[in-house]
Amino acid sequence: MPSNSFGSLFRITTFGESHGLAIGVVIDGCPAGLPISLEEIQEELFLRQPGKNPYTSPRGEKDEAEILSGVFEGKTTGAPIALLIRNRDADSSKYEPIKDLLRPGHANYTYLQKYGIFDYRGGGRSSARETAARVAAGAIAKKLIAHFGIRTCAFVAEIGGIAMDPPDLKNLAALREKTLESPIFCPDEMAAKQMMAAIEAAKKEGDSLGGILQGAASGLPAGLGDPVYQKLEANLAYAMLSLPATKGFEIGSGFAGARMKGSEHNDTFEADSKGEIRTTSNFAGGTLGGISTGAPLFFRVAFKPTSSIEKEQKTVSTTGKPAAFKLPPGSRHDPCVAIRAVAIVESMLALVLADALLMNRLARI
């Protein structure tokens, strides 16, 4: 199975399955001398961790990371960094009764068609459990880009058609603080209450909801991103759409920009009192020609409703025999996968920017 790596210079390779012994990640290309602690990695993993409230999966994983290599006396050495997270609360017994059924909305069918074998225990490699390894790597990427003055934030912007008002992206530190105060990572308190009520209603019906996350970054220098196939927004789209359950990506005004006129959408330029050039608006979302402009970067990612629901659904067996699909009692799933995806989106954003920063050092003398 190829394609388990991401990035060019700051490159990660993840491994492991949902119900295997462990998951993990190897980070290659991280510069030496970057201060990093296990506590900083754990802090990021805690944001993704399940079982903290009724709006996420009750699976009780602590997501305790182990640093196996690449860090010495609290600093990176330049060697590959290996991080391991052991699976301690996997219960494969719940999957035994349904192992021969094609789960609606899941990858059983496509994996079987491609490989002829599928690890049905929690979805194996196709499970969102793999993303914990990305968050662990993202903690190191965040530390690297913070060294260059770059801040990131991701938050829930919409769940089940309930959307928050457009946020102020000028102070990402304050926005992230408000986001982390919310049980569902939505910085708009009123909208969050409505979203939580909608999630609870869907759970009672044995159903699930989808959502839209927004990501943003500030403090970027102009010049990040490489034409033609390594455009910053292209790599962001690649990163976000590699996440489980994602179904859409847009940057800046996105699809709404297609309904605007050029005179409305163009971000005109001006020079400030110090003679520094900037754009007067930011419909482009912080990039032009695939290269960062120095304006705040912002984008949105659409997540489908959780595929694992308690309602009975029609399906077929692996041999094509019609069957009724019903989750076994005690199954543990997120009623809305978008909530725990906040930490993952922010981590993937940091990984893209860390790679772009290192690539940019090769641009000119």
pLDDT of residue 60: 67
Sign of the four-CA dihedral 99, 103, 108, 109: positive
Show Cβ contacts of residue 201 under 8 Å, excluding neighbours closer than 6 positions.
Answer: none
Show Cβ contacts of residue 153 under 8 Å, excluding neighbours closer than 6 positions.
Answer: 172, 175, 176, 179, 215, 216, 217, 346
pLDDT of residue 123: 85
In this prediction, residues 62-80 reach a mean pLDDT of 96
pLDDT of residue 21: 92
pLDDT of residue 59: 66
User: What does the domain layout of the chain look like in residue ranges?
Assistant: 5-360
C-alpha span between 288 and 233 (Å, rounded):
9
The pLDDT confidence band at residue 330, using thresholds 50, 70 and 90, is: confident
Show Cβ contacts of residue 160 under 8 Å, excluding neighbours closer than 6 positions.
Answer: 195, 198, 199, 202, 209, 210, 211, 336
Which two three-digit tokens encode residue 143?
């530390």
CATH number for the region 5-360 comes to 3.60.150.10
Total Cβ atoms within 10 A of residue 209: 25
pLDDT of residue 91: 75
Supply the pTM of this predicted model: 0.95
C-alpha span between 329 and 240 (Å, rounded):
32
Say whether pLDDT at 94 is over 90. no
In this prediction, residues 242-260 reach a mean pLDDT of 97
Say whether pLDDT at 51 is over 70. no
Which two three-digit tokens encode residue 195?
């979203």
Sign of the four-CA dihedral 223, 229, 234, 237: negative
Residues facing residue 246 across a β-bridge: 303
